[in-house]
Structure 1
Amino acid sequence: MEHRLPERARPRVHALVTPPRLATRAAALALFGAVAATLVAGVLGGLGRLGAAPALEAPWAGQALLAHAALMIGGFFGTVIGLERAVALRHPAAFAGPVASAAGALALLAGQAELGRALLWLASLAFCAANVAIVRRQRAAHTGLLLVAAGAWGVGNTLFALDGASGPVLPWWFAFLVLTIAAERLEMTRLSRRRPAALPAFTAIVVLLLAGAAASAWSPRDGGLLFGAALVALAGWLFIFDIARHTLRAAGLARYMAVCLLAGYAWLAVGGVAWAATAHGAATRDLALHALGLGFVFGMVMGHAPVILPALTRLKLQFGIAFYAPLAALHASLLWRFGAGFSDLARRAGGAQLNALALLWFALTVVGAIVVWRLRHGRADAARPGRRRA
């Protein structure tokens, strides 16, 4: 039998239930707003380093220039990946990590460097704890690697909190991003037959990558060579064993993701070669950092966003051919930046501006896809017979 509350009791129950929901939504909007602000500030900071950003009088603009890498890797990616883990765990405590990393990025922008570094360090500790919980739930090679990636971020943030210098920190930060993506792709390789030597070879590459990151602290030349070689080896492993080679022949979203992945692996190999060359004195630092950060990491973001964004925000989007346009723009702008701009700083700055426009184009494409989905499916729901009106 259905029990109905008296009419007088209903407003009281509504008053008890609604405020927490509103508070949760407000907190979520504030967190996503911080993530968006961090991304914009990080991109402007990177442009500012090349003299390609518009002149801004705001105090945070100078801080964005100084803390570009920390904002992008810790503030943006650390928060987004932390949110993904928290949603997977479905435990309120798991959100402590992304909240701390977002707050750390805002502190850096506010000129509170020590506070910002401390918050990023705390965020990585919480992130490690979340990944330990995931390993306990599912013991597998890919979840173990996710924990290793979290540990790499923790090591990098510890060094950053102690010193604030980016030199010995960057290999650990990039190891965090690269191994996180590699872990997700390792999980997908279970869908196809792996050769017996595939997993041992993958493990050896991970060990080499971590050894290169560690050695970079006291021997940048040798450590950089190991780190770059590991990146190239990982790109080769992914080209051979990832299912993207097979899904490239599919249609729709599966093909789009395969294109993003395979193009990203090419940039991973380029970044590895450039990283090793930089360690040996070549003028390829910009190529090493941004072939990885933009070509590989953001290429993966473009590929996975149509799947991850609905899981994080519950906002569905309508995938279409329009997603290929900003992807092509990103890779074309990178070719310009590293080709024509290799020895010409003005053209390199122009390439960086085109990189930023490609990212903006992708963001607008995602927003448009969300709007299109609502228009199409909203009309379908409205036309459905027997639909209850609010």
Structure 2
Amino acid sequence: MLSLPFLGGHWLGNGAVSHGALMICGFMGTVIGIERAVAVKRHAAWLAPVASGWGGLCLLAGLTTAGAWLLTVAAVVFVGVNVVVVHRQRAAHTVLLLASALAWLTGSLLFLLRPEDMSSVPWWFAFLVMTIAAERLEMTRLMRRRPGAQVSLWLLLGALAAGAALSAFSARAGGVLYGLSLFCLALWLGVFDIARRTVLAQGLARFMAVCLLGGYAWLAVAGLAWTGAALGLPLRDAALHALGLGFIVSMMMGHAPVILPAIARIKLQFGSLFYVPLAVLHLSLIVRLGIGLNDFAWRGTGALLNAVAIALFAAVMVGAAVLWQARHRSGAPKQDRS
């Protein structure tokens, strides 16, 4: 096994043991923390992504307790940041963002106090699911929705939180409630999200819609698999990766072309290559969760393709930024004169 001295040990093995905390808190928590810090424009807000980033490095180094403390500190600061957001703009989506931050904090506290069990995982996933739901609620707030649509969303997310809480005491009952909530949330998003209309558009709008609708399909799969796993079926891997990769990474691919330029102050040249990593992602999940459900060799192939899809997406984003610069640097004077 490889050993990196500055991480203090066998980082690959440590990463495998703590990959849930690493991906959800160390990576996604840091990315979302940066996005929120840029939005609120307060120096103290940067403590959240700094703490979560260092927490992830501690987990890689095998310093589980130190990592858990840092992730908890990150979540506490992140809750404070979202209190500021709600104070500035009291709306349904900002309140939901605050609820998602509290879910992160709850999961991190459980990880700190009960590192030996998995009770933190439903809360961490709830953090990401609620964050995405809040962003979609904000995006579609101008749409005419049927009466009760927003109330039903809050009820579903409340059931999701209740399932996460119950899972700490009864994995079966809590898991069933959690899984059914995910499945019903997928139906809600499929019916009420604006993506079902923008998929008929062109360019980036269509790409985003394809990412979102594909993600909602995997969310439904995750909900059913989570329910099945709670009932004793061998579907835990399917539940975790349909949710973590199929839903959350699809959402990341769909939102990144809009969020990344806002954070990094760059521009992207959209093109058909954006669909390549998305297609590889869905293919990898079909291999991993379909053929690989009862075949470890195929499951390993699917896992490798999961990583390839994410690496391809990163490469496409970098290439899109470079291409935009190359095309517009020479064309800028013309545009300025017109």
- TM-score (norm: length of structure 2): 0.96
In structure 2, the partner of 1:12 is none
> 1:218 — aligned with what?
169
| Matches for 1:1-390 after TM superposition, within 5 Å | 56-58=2-4, 59-381=10-332
Deviation, 1:382, is: 5.5
Structure 2 segments unaligned to the other structure (5+ residues)? 5-9
Question: Residue 200 of structure 2: SS of its match in structure 1?
Answer: coil
Taking the aligned partners of 1:209 and 1:332, their CA distance within structure 2 comes to 28
Mapped to 2, the partners of 1:199 and 1:380 lie a distance apart of 46
How far off is 1:316 after superposition?
1.2
SS in 2 for 1:341: helix
Q: Residue 251 of structure 2 aligns to a residue in which SS?
A: helix
SS of the residue 1:298 aligns to:
helix
In the comparison of the two structures, how many residue pairs are matched?
A: 332
3-state SS in 2 of match to 1:315? coil
- 1:206 CA drift (Å): 1.0
Paired amino acid for 1:296:
F
Could you tell me how far 1:167 is from its partner in structure 2? 1.2
Q: CA deviation at 1:57?
A: 4.5
Q: CA deviation at 1:156?
A: 0.2
Read off the aligned partner of 1:100 and give its amino acid letter.
Answer: A
SS at match of 2:291: coil
| Alignment RMSD | 1.2
Report SS of the residue matched to 1:291: helix
Q: CA separation of 1:383/1:146 partners in 2, compared to 1, >3 Å: closer, same or farther?
A: same
Distance 1:385 1:349, change over 3 A: closer
1:197-249 per-residue CA deviation (whole Å, 9 max, x = no partner) reads: 10111111011101100000000000000000100110010011000011111
Gaps of 5+ in 1: 1-54
Shift of 1:163: 2.0
Query: Alpha-carbon deviation of 1:312?
Result: 0.9
Which residue of 2 is the match for residue 34 of structure 1?
none
Find the aligned partners of 2:82 and 2:106 in 1 and give their Cα distance: 15
